[in-house]
């Protein structure tokens, strides 16, 4: 991203860089550039036919060495980092993936070119493919491919390895990119935070940074070109801002801001295990959203009371084939056991089958956001769907599991999904395999047609879970990954709020619970509206739970109901934001 010049110091001009928020918090200190020079400088040269086999062997050796390096890192991980082993293991699997490994060998053999160039060409094609995926979580998996290929490339070129664990001074890391393996070597007593040119909020590197609770910003674009070694920088992970060469006034302001943040965080965290109860006695359950089993620690530590959304896509990515029933069962069982008796809401596979899975043979789609994904994909592939459902039912014998179907648009889809769930239970019963067949079944309300059909759908399910991210996208016809129209993506649009209230009201009328698992639930400023609407439960990223709990404890449900009614009468976003900014305090006792 472009820099903004905002002031001067006696020696250098103050520069502000805007990036993507990775992990909240503020740190101030000297920059330490992690040198990856040489990896990006790759040249193409032809290989004689007689030497092609040797070049392939050189590539295989580099891959083998990359796997050995990752294996060593895993074996040396401190106990506090053990929950992230599966991320590093996925990188080991990726290095042998046919999309990366197989295609590179094929390119060397067919084009008779050096391994470095073949790897670069293959990775470029994969990156282009991932850019078309609308879901930010799935799109961010491209970073894993890039990080694995960088490790292989370093071995091919003999470039010096990054060894963050050897840094022996208190610094802020600045890098083009950091892999989960790099991040896992961070020594908290030395590294205050980090910023990278690449990456995003959903990357595995960001997930690890949030677990470590150190400020991080990703996707800065040109930080490594602007920031020099030992430059004084400020990293505001809560705002996604890096300030280079801060002047005295900026330093004073941010030192105070850091102190206030740390005091507020300590106060909020201290109370996070206590329930979220309003001043007039209304109790709301707060759950965590997770993608990896390893994130359970963060849910528990931050006072989460279960899992409101367990995204299961990760177990299908970074592989060469679909996972088996037993593989899925072991993961789901682990989550269920660790959280019992608290509920675990498992969302069935929500993936774009044509582009996200390298081993799936589906044809490409011109508009995958509206294509064969989620429940549509699962109903098209009952073999894949029933395998997952059987694993879920088996794991439910070890805890309190709820199953949830995504991207429902019609009654027919709900009935078909339930039939597959019944078939899965029958198959397990015939095989005399322990399971529960009476688990709660719910659907995500994220397509307008499902919202408007809520009264009919409520007769067939046990709960609704509102996915505000996609619901907003589809209600407003906004591609939130398209920067040209991203400013029009407004979760507080009157139409979005009215449809949410309609779904909640239908839930009350029909006697089923209504949850929310979208990003709106993690915004403390919106809580008076959500409580006032009558939601039964909300879930969010684990790190957001303490602040949301703290906000709920300061609210009156009775006043929140009146406030929500006032908000729902507004006809434009400007007035809604004005009321939130000016009158939200009136919802507080």
Q: What is the largest CA-CA distance in the chain?
A: 81
Whether residues 323 and 403 share a domain: the answer is yes
- Token digits of residue 107: 């390119």
Whether residues 26 and 63 share a domain: the answer is no
What SS3 class is residue 34? Answer: coil
pLDDT tier at 34, thresholds 50, 70, 90: confident
Rounded CA-CA distance 171/182 in Å is 15
Whether residues 255 and 378 share a domain: the answer is no
Q: Based on the number of CB atoms within 10 Å of its own CB, is 361 exposed (0-12), middle (13-18) or buried (19 or more)?
A: exposed
Count of structural domains, the chain = 3
User: Which CATH number do you get for residue 117?
Assistant: 1.10.274.10
- Pick the catalytic residue from 91, 204, 245, 420: 204
Task: Find all residues with CB under 8 Å of 75, minimum gap 6, and list them.
Answer: none
Q: Is residue 213 part of a domain?
A: yes
- Pick the catalytic residue from 27, 272, 378, 517: 517
Whose tokens are 């009156």? That residue is 556
Mean pLDDT of 483-503: 88
Q: What is the pLDDT of residue 458?
A: 97
DSSP-assigned letters across all residues of 531-560:
HHHT-SEEEE-GGGHHHHHHHHTTB-HHHH
Its domain, for residue 370, covers 274-557
Q: Is residue 18 part of a domain?
A: yes
Q: What is the pLDDT of residue 295?
A: 81
Q: Which of 389, 412, 413 is nearest to 402 (CA)?
A: 389
Q: What is the pLDDT of residues 197-243, one digit of tens each?
A: 876 655 656 666 776 778 988 888 888 889 988 899 999 988 889 99
User: Which CATH number do you get for residue 387?
Assistant: 3.20.20.60
Is 5 a residue of the active site? no
Q: Is residue 564 part of a domain?
A: no
Q: What is the pLDDT of residue 298?
A: 84
Q: Is residue 447 part of a domain?
A: yes
Q: Is residue 574 part of a domain?
A: no
Task: Find all residues with CB under 8 Å of 535, minimum gap 6, and list them.
Answer: 284, 466, 504, 514, 515, 516
Whose tokens are 């009476």? That residue is 438
Whether residues 307 and 446 share a domain: the answer is yes
Query: What are the E-state strand segments in 292-378?
Result: 307-311, 343-347
Whether residues 209 and 347 share a domain: the answer is no
Is 517 a residue of the active site? yes
Whose tokens are 């990703």? That residue is 218
CB 190 within 8 A of CB 170: yes
Rounded CA-CA distance 491/476 in Å is 9
Helices (H), 305-366: 325-339
Q: Is residue 566 part of a domain?
A: no
Helices and strands counted in the chain (H then E) = 23, 18
Rounded CA-CA distance 527/392 in Å is 32
Upper half-sphere CA count for residue 172 (Cβ side, 13 Å): 30
Q: Average pLDDT over the chain, rounded to whole?
A: 84
Q: What is the pLDDT of residues 503-519, one digit of tens each?
A: 999 999 999 999 999 87
- 8 pLDDT higher than 50: no
- Token digits of residue 146: 């890039």
């Amino acid at each position: 991203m472009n820099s903004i010049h905002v002031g001067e110091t006696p020696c250098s001009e103050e520069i502000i860089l805007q990036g993507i928020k990775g992990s909240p918090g503020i740190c101030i200190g000297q920059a330490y550039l992690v040198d990856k020079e040489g990896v990006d400088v790759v040249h193409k040269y032809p290989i004689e036919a007689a030497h092609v086999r040797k070049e392939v062997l050189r590539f295989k050796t580099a891959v083998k060495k990359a796997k050995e390096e990752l294996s060593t890192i895993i074996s040396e991980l401190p106990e506090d980092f053990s929950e992230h082993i599966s991320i590093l293991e996925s990188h080991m699997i990726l290095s042998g993936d046919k999309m990366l490994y197989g295609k590179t060998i094929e390119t060397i053999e067919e084009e008779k070119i050096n391994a470095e160039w073949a790897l670069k060409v293959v990775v470029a094609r994969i990156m282009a493919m991932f850019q078309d995926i609308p879901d930010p979580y799935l799109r961010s998996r491209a970073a894993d491919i890039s990080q694995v290929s960088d490790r292989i490339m370093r071995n091919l070129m003999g470039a010096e390895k990054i060894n963050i664990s050897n840094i022996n001074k208190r610094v802020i890391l600045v890098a083009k990119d950091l892999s989960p393996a790099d991040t896992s070597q961070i020594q908290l007593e030395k590294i205050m935070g980090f910023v990278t040119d690449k990456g995003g909020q959903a990357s595995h590197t960001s997930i690890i940074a949030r677990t470590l609770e150190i400020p991080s910003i990703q996707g800065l674009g040109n930080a490594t070109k602007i920031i020099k070694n030992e430059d004084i920088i400020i990293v505001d992970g809560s705002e996604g801002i890096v300030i280079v060469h801060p002047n005295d006034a900026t330093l004073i302001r941010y030192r105070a801001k850091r102190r206030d943040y740390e005091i507020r965080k300590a106060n909020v965290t201290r109370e996070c295990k206590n329930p979220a109860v309003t001043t007039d006695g209304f109790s709301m359950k707060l759950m965590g959203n997770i993608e990896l089993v390893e994130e359970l620690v963060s849910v528990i530590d931050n006072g989460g009371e279960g899992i409101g959304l367990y995204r299961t896509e990760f177990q299908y990515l970074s592989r060469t084939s679909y996972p088996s029933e037993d593989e899925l069962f072991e993961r789901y069982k682990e989550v269920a056991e660790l959280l019992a008796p608290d509920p675990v809401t498992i969302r069935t596979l929500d993936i774009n089958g044509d582009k996200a899975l390298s081993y799936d043979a589906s044809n490409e789609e011109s508009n995958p956001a509206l294509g064969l994904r989620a429940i549509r994909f699962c109903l098209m592939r009952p073999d894949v769907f029933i395998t997952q459902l059987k694993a879920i039912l088996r794991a439910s014998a070890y805890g309190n599991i709820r199953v949830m179907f995504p991207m429902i648009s019609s009654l027919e889809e709900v009935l078909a999904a339930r039939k597959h769930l019944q078939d899965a239970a029958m198959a397990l019963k015939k095989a005399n395999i322990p399971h529960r067949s009476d688990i709660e079944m719910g659907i995500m309300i994220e397509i307008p047609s499902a919202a408007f059909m809520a009264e009919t759908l409520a007769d067939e399910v046990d709960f609704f879970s509102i996915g505000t991210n996609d619901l907003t996208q589809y209600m407003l016809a906004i591609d939130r990954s398209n920067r040209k129209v991203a400013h029009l993506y407004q979760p507080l649009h009157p139409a979005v709020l009215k449809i949410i209230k309609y779904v909640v009201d239908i839930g009350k009328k029909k006697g089923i619970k209504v949850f929310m698992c979208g990003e709106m639930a993690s915004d403390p400023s919106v809580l008076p509206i959500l409580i006032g609407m009558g939601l039964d439960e909300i879930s969010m990223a684990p790190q957001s739970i303490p602040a949301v709990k703290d906000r709920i404890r300061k609210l009156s449900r009775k006043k929140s109901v009146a406030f929500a009614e006032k908000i729902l009468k507004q006809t434009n976003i400007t007035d809604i934001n004005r009321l939130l900014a000016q009158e939200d305090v009136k919802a507080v006792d």
